């Protein structure tokens, strides 16, 4: 710190349980008590301004802890925990961190961090909000996972995974072409670069664990902006099977 007086000002603020606000005018720093509205003035010529550390909740949850903190440069904040609503769970922070609760240290600039939440079934609450879906009275975000508002025969959780429009009854995941022998060629749509597509084959779909992944067609990634994907592989031995299906999963934040 460049000013011992400035350090004293921070100490006063941290000891004030009723909250405070900062107001800087040139070489003077005012600390105002949020309850009594009483201001204390400090001469802070040559001192640096305090930095703001703010936490914002996404839909589906809130926080425990101080969501707006003022820190000296290089300072350490107080712990904050993202708390999900019923039927939801914490997913990640906007800066990619996964730890919860979190404590930020060595703050160098004003920082805003957002918490993301998802349903118990793994659907981002932002996706539900974007498409206008909210839990009804007595329901939770987890209840939405199993709803089928446009009667597609496909719950909302599956529609999210398949990258469909849940408000459009004709938005469906489809195999638009299929050619088997000598090579395998399957074309599917719609696709998205944040999904991974795997072709599986079976000789008896009713058998437990009767499906095997086709070599070379596991976790295939569409190109950016692609709306359809062609999955191709060399021919399989005849005894491998004649039933095919395409599996879809959402890529994790750690994947490219």
pLDDT digits (tens, 9 = 90+) for 98-121: 999 999 999 899 999 999 999 999
Whole-number Å distance between alpha carbons of 52 and 49: 10
Confidence of residue 31 (pLDDT cuts 50, 70, 90): low
Q: Tokens representing 213?
A: 């992944």
Q: List the end-to-end C-alpha distance of the chain, in Å, as a whole number.
A: 41
Check whether 22 has a pLDDT greater than 90: no
Is residue 156's pLDDT more than 50?
yes
Is 114:57 a contact under the CB 8 Å cutoff?
A: yes
Q: How far is CA 44 from CA 10, 49, 77, 95, 119, in A?
A: 11, 9, 22, 33, 48
pTM exceeds 0.95, yes or no: no
């Amino acid at each position: 710190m460049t000013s011992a007086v400035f350090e004293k000002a921070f100490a006063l603020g941290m000891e004030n349980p009723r909250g405070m606000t900062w107001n800087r005018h040139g070489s003077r720093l005012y600390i105002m008590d949020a309850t009594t509205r009483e201001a204390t003035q400090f001469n802070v010529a040559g001192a640096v301004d305090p930095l703001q550390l703010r936490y914002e909740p996404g839909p589906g949850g809130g926080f425990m802890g101080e969501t707006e903190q003022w820190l000296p440069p290089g300072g350490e904040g107080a712990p904050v925990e993202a708390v999900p609503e019923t039927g939801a769970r914490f997913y990640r922070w906007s800066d990619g961190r996964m730890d919860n609760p979190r404590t930020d240290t060595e703050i160098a600039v004003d920082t805003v961090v957002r918490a993301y939440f998802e349903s118990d079934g793994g659907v981002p609450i932002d996706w539900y909000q974007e498409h206008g879906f909210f839990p009804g009275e007595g329901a939770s975000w987890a209840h939405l996972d199993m709803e089928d508002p446009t009667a597609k025969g496909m719950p909302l959780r599956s529609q999210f995974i398949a990258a469909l429009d849940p408000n459009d009854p004709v938005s469906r995941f489809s195999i638009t072409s299929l050619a088997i022998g000598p090579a395998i060629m399957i074309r599917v749509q719609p696709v998205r670069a944040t999904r991974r597509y795997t072709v599986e084959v079976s000789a008896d779909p009713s058998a437990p664990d009767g499906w095997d992944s086709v070599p070379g067609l596991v976790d295939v990634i569409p190109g950016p902006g692609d709306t359809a994907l062609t999955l191709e592989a060399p021919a399989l031995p005849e005894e491998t099977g004649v039933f095919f299906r395409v599996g879809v999963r959402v890529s994790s934040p750690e994947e490219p």
